Amino acid sequence: MQNLDRPTSETSLSASHYRPIWTQTTKEVFQTTGSSTQGLPEIEAEQRLKHYGPNELPDPPRRSLVLRFTDQLTHFMAMLLWVAGILAFVSGTPELGWAIWAVIWVNAIFSFWQEFQAEQALASLKKVLPAQVRVYRDGALMSILARELVPGDAMQLEEGDRISADARLVSAEALYVDVSVLTGESLPVARTAEPVANLNLRPAEVSNLVFAGSTVAAGRGMAIVSATGTQTEFGHVARLTTDVKREQSTLEVQISKVVRVITAVAVSMGVLVFFLANVLVGMQLKESFVFAIGIIVAFVPEGLLPTVTLALAIGVKRMAKRNALVRRLSAVETLSATTVICTDKTGTLTKNEMTVRSLWIHGQTIEVTGVGYNPRGEIGTVPPGAKGQVQALLAGAALCSNARLVHPSDSSQWLEVGDPTEAALLVVALKAGLNLETLQRQAPRIREIPFDSRRRMMTVVLEGDWAQFCPSELGGSDPYLSPYLSLTKGAPLEVLQHCQFILKNGKSQALTASDRAEATTANDTLASQGYRVLGVAIRQGGAELREQDSASLEQDLTFVGLTAMMDPPRPEVAEAIAQCYAAGIHVTMVTGDYGLTAEAIAHQIGLVDGKVRVVTGEGLGHLSDAQLRRVLQHRTGLVFARMLPEQKLRLVQAYKDLGHIVAVTGDGVNDAPALRAAHIGIAMGISGTDVAREAADIVLVDDNFATIVTAIEQGRAVYQNIRKFITYILASNMAEFLPFLAMVVLKIPPALLILQILAIDLGTDMLPALALGAEKPEVGIMQQHPRKKSTPLLDKALLLRAYCFLGLLEGIAGMTGFFLVWWANGYGLAEIQAVSPAILSRSATATTMAIYHQATTVTLAAIVACQDGNVFACRSDRVSIFRLGFFSNPLIWIGIGVEWTLILSIIYFSPLEKIFMTAPLSGMQWLGLMLCPPMILMADEWRKRIVQLQFQRRFHHR
């Protein structure tokens, strides 16, 4: 481990000069590192950062760009086209072979660029939510970037933190650390701050050391950084595990299967055309072979994979702009099928801006004014004789907190550092006129039992007595005066269970059943109004308070009172929940809060309408799995309260067993199992722990439930957009196939040449298809019910629309143009059939070949023109283009502009005219081509209208 040679940033500590840091006392650690509980001076930290460098590992070795580009030349479709090119050369048509190979290179370059862009988009997510760590600098607790950590920094560690550097503990309270990333140990291990005398231990076995890459499973502590970057234990064996990895999504797997199926069809059709052309048409073996290759090339969707990658990348970027960071591409597709959201309450449905609004002491309720964390506010009228007890309640709550208030000199706002609930307790204490710094000096904390989700309490032990809190009323006459005081705050009913006494009129008295019922009623009354309620209790004692375990320490407490704070619902949440219900998505609140509080918030945000059934964690424990599934299946208005992590996991599994696609929100280390078990794990970016973010698929930068709805909307849009451009591409493939079918059936020359097919597939079609991949969510997309996860991407409806409707119309339009050119020159079907052998053998007269080239040019231009109408038709399979608007996606017009630039170049630019065997068109022919886009568009509008009427008829019949 890296150390410090002297308490400066000039040199590095050598193990030969000092004992291992784990053998040193806390005082020696401070001397060795030049640090203290106040942390490093900011200037010293900057000097050390320059000396040791950033706390980060070098990027891991990756495949070179050359090898990654080579991958694009050797995948399944590319190999098929390489073979097709070779066969073209063997058949004596080198120009076709070169064209096919050019297709491979163009597609490889485009695919490589798209995957590189998608990879860059995912990598940029790390910069949006960089790893943070809390350290003391110049005596102040602050959050800094993990890369700015330096040896000697005093880190504060709390449950859920990912540890960013190797460090020596100098204090630890019930601290357990998950070191599985280094040791493979599946269970968290206890950590203490005591020196370890054994010099022969491996660092991972030392109980007072923590390491980069490990996580805090429970408790809290302070540690002095001893090694950063490549000098850490983790740096010797692996790179940091927080990197976002580009992984193939389930959608891309499905697309690959689609491509293989279509390719198999293409090869089958090519073989069929080869035999039919040779047997029925009488085409020579060479020509039959060439046209079979053409069929294969026509049907292979060369641009499909890169377009899917682009659509996913666009979706990821759009979600990032809307505060949803996608860590796994597979999440984008899964979002579109989400049917249930299990959401936490605090900070997700609510603002997480706690303000204490009410206090309760025995027999009295006292209102508190003010908003937010500004201590400008007042405590309401305190009854005579109760002032000391109110001060005791507020002082006890504030001293049993780890938050801190900050008032920047350049701002009028007060900011909280730490848990918002605890910050609210500090604020109300300041409103009561308490001097917190003085209290903390008079009663220093010597021990802490951190909050956990099972006890639902936190306890601290102070060296002091009641007289320091409220000397005016509880001073020396109190019989419980002693050198140590424990303060406990937590869920009121849990705190009450551990109390045997209650503070009445400044005196500790036995807690009767009547007193317990009164406190419980007060708690329920406040909770039913949507307040988050905490109970505060005390215990005086001697040295035993320093040594007892949590179970013993939190017994025989004296109940002081209640604090009730309001965390107002986010104003946009009610509308977001309404959108979820309209979209067929069920929202379930799963919270650790009290049931009545959860119920009140559920009513306020429209989560439930009418009677609510609150299922507590205890109640859930009495339900079998079958009973739980029945509750979920047949009950509405469900709220789950006081839920433990394993119960949240069980709930997620029950929803999955019912066939739901489940999204789960979480922010704590204990939420990680449920986040991993869900189809979509959603972590909080602000309040979430590092462990929760690691387990999640999506991170909400703003912790806002409405952002989840936005992400689902974008997920649905991505899925729809992929179906849109698949429809667009397959339609032109059918139009390209029809001329060859006509050649076999009618025994005429092909109305479309191989190179012209390639001009459509990898020229004119590409940018409009990409524009469809960038479509914004359709109007009404969140009024549709989620698709079934089992629904194939390439379903019957899509194939019928692409092949048998849009593609067929385009093919007919192209063939119509082909025949019109011949008929305009005096050729009927019989005459065309008569010259066909000469055209195929290239022995026809120059005049005949000129007519043929102009006819194929019209076919080419007609298909491209039809695709202009098709691209607008494919913008939705049900919404009219007149409702969507022709100009709402400007990328389509850019695509059309580039498309026609290519076509005009192919027709009128002499070198390209020779390569693609085209001929200039007349004015009347161009006028006829102008009818193709509206013909396709109006035909699909007619189809949409029929589908809409059928849907309305079925809905009305129901």
Could you report the per-residue pLDDT of 450-474, keeping only the tens digit for each? 887 778 899 999 986 555 554 444 4
- Facing residues of 639 across strands? 589, 614
| pLDDT score of 472 | 42
Measured distance CA(367)–CA(377) in Å, rounded:
11
Contacts of 502 (CB under 8 A, 6+ apart): 362, 508, 509, 510, 511, 515, 519, 558, 559
Burial 180-189 (b: 16+ CB within 10 A, else e): ebbeeeeebb
* Pairing between β-strand 499-504 and β-strand 557-566 as defined by DSSP bridges: parallel
Q: Which amino acid is at 827?
A: Y
Q: Which residues of the chain have pLDDT under 70?
A: 1-18, 58-63, 77, 91-93, 96, 111, 114-115, 117-130, 180-187, 236-253, 280-283, 298, 301-306, 309, 329-330, 408-412, 464-482, 635-636, 668-670, 687-691, 954-958
Are 163 and 215 in contact by the 8 Å Cβ rule? The answer is: yes
Report how far apart, in Å, the C-alpha atoms of 666 and of each of 149, 160, 213, 294 are. Answer: 27, 12, 21, 54
* Tokens encoding 178: 């998950």
* Pairing between β-strand 586-590 and β-strand 340-343 as defined by DSSP bridges: parallel
Going through 610-695 in order, the beta strands assigned E by DSSP cover: 613-616, 638-641, 662-666, 680-684
Measured distance CA(689)–CA(127) in Å, rounded:
17
First CA to last CA across the chain, in angstroms?
72
Give residue-wise pLDDT tens across range 311-354. 777 777 788 888 888 877 667 778 888 899 998 887 788 877 78
**Number of Cα atoms under 13 Å in the Cβ half of residue 717:** 23
* Tokens encoding 947: 């589908």
* Tokens encoding 443: 């009663």
| pLDDT score of 130 | 60
Are 572 and 524 in contact by the 8 Å Cβ rule? The answer is: no
Measured distance CA(16)–CA(114) in Å, rounded:
53
- Facing residues of 344 across strands? none
| pLDDT score of 241 | 36
Burial 228-247 (b: 16+ CB within 10 A, else e): bbebbbbbeeeebebeeeee
| pLDDT score of 62 | 64
* Tokens encoding 471: 């000397």
The sign of the dihedral angle between the CA atoms of 801, 806, 809, 810 is negative
Report the catalytic residues.
344
Give residue-wise pLDDT tens across range 80-106. 778 777 877 876 667 767 877 877 787
pTM for the full predicted model: 0.72
Cα–Cα–Cα angle for 319, 322, 326, rounded to 5 degrees = 30
Measured distance CA(883)–CA(886) in Å, rounded:
9
**Residue 159, phi then psi, degrees to nearest 5:** -50, 130
Measured distance CA(494)–CA(516) in Å, rounded:
12
Measured distance CA(655)–CA(339) in Å, rounded:
10
Are 393 and 536 in contact by the 8 Å Cβ rule? The answer is: yes
